[in-house]
Amino acid sequence: MPHSTLDDLLAFLAVVRERSFTRAAAKLGVSQSALSHTLRRLEAKLGIRLLTRTTRSLSTTEAGERLLERLGPHFEQIETELAGLTELRDKPAGTIRITAGEHAALTVLWPALAKFLPRYPDIKVEVIVDYGLTDIVAQRCDGGVRLGEQVARDMIAVRIGPDMRMAVVGAPAYFARRSPPKKPQDLTDHNCINLRLPTHGGLYAWELEKGRRELHVRVDGQLIFNNIALRLNAALEGLGLAFLPEDAVQPYLAQGRLKRVLEEWCPPFPGYHLYYPSRRQASPAFTLLVEALRSGGRVA
């Protein structure tokens, strides 16, 4: 249907509903003469009179009444759907899917969601815990949370967490049997608790740095896990050295249940970022969540 014909039909409906050219013109934001011209143009296209006009009254012809009966409900349905979209804007709803690593989900996402979700009961959030660098477009995710250095350049990245540090730790019981490592190379003589990441195709090499020296140390040991909790438990049991986020081990360091080594080889690095496609129109719900994560969970 040509756009001009659609406009003409909308003008016809407005005139019939208002029973007045004057009121319909004011509602549509056009002049009365322009509206009259539009109706005459529609009647000319259809080859039939739709309205009967006198100086005091306005009514539909038989053809006009039929057109109103057939088209009116469809336009009303469209208006209802558009109003529903406006309601979604004013009252955000829908499901948001986010992929994140275990540590990011626990330390950044969860605290923000705990404050955010009660405020917006019509928003649902699905968190997919995944260590891999997920293709969020292919996996139909709205966004992902990763360290800043891991975010692809074609994505919008929003910083949502502070700088981080890693820590090499072991239990006092472990160090009762072995001397603490003095340099990264000494780790090859220790029983280390390994991490397997899908994106690395094998075991994760511990990333250590001091000044301008950067080392990727491949360690060996009896245990291999793919999450933080089990590596932490193994270290607490004295089964080896673990390389873990500093905030995860801080309480146990304070309690004396773990001892830190090689601290000078673990400098701060940029923390977590929320990333999402730059070419996709974000939903109102996702936009609100982005702002909540950016502000640490606070909602307006």
Q: Tokens for 5?
A: 């014909």
What is the distance between the alpha carbons of residues 170 and 203, in angstroms, rounded to a whole number?
A: 19
CB 242 within 8 A of CB 193: yes
pLDDT bracket for residue 12 (50, 70, 90): confident
CB count within 10 Å of CB 76 equals 11
CA distances from 86 to 202, 282, 286 (A): 49, 15, 16
Q: Tokens for 51?
A: 């309205």
pLDDT at 136 over 80: no
State the average pLDDT for the chain.
86
Q: What value does the mean pLDDT take over residues 222-245? A: 96
What is the distance between the alpha carbons of residues 105 and 278, in angstroms, rounded to a whole number?
A: 23
CB 247 within 8 A of CB 163: no
**Could you tell me what percentage of the chain is helix, strand and coil, using 3-state DSSP and rounding each to the nearest 5?**
45, 25, 30
Q: Where is pLDDT greater, at 31 or 278?
A: 31
What is the distance between the alpha carbons of residues 229 and 234, in angstroms, rounded to a whole number?
A: 9
Amino acid identity of residue 253, one-letter, is: L
Q: What value does the mean pLDDT take over residues 243-247? A: 97
Which among 180, 100, 157 has a CA at the least distance from the CA of 132?
A: 100
User: How many percent of the chain have pLDDT more than 70?
Assistant: 87
DSSP state of 179: P
What is the distance between the alpha carbons of residues 24 and 10, in angstroms, rounded to a whole number?
A: 10
Question: pLDDT at position 115, please?
Answer: 92
Strand partners, 269: 164
DSSP state of 101: -
Please tell me which of 9-18, 48-57, 252-261, 288-297 the model is most confident about, judged by mean pLDDT.
252-261
Domains of the chain (ranges; CATH) run: 3-90 (1.10.10.10), 100-162+274-294 (3.40.190.10), 166-265 (3.40.190.290)
pLDDT bracket for residue 297 (50, 70, 90): very low
Which among 180, 169, 177, 187 has a CA at the least distance from the CA of 252?
A: 169
pLDDT at 85 over 50: yes
**177-232 pLDDT, tens digit each:** 999 999 999 999 999 999 987 665 688 899 999 988 999 999 999 999 988 999 99
Question: pLDDT at position 163, please?
Answer: 92
Question: pLDDT at position 299, please?
Answer: 42
pLDDT at 27 over 50: yes
**117-133 pLDDT, tens digit each:** 999 998 999 999 887 66
Length of the chain: 300
Which among 78, 129, 67 has a CA at the least distance from the CA of 101?
A: 129
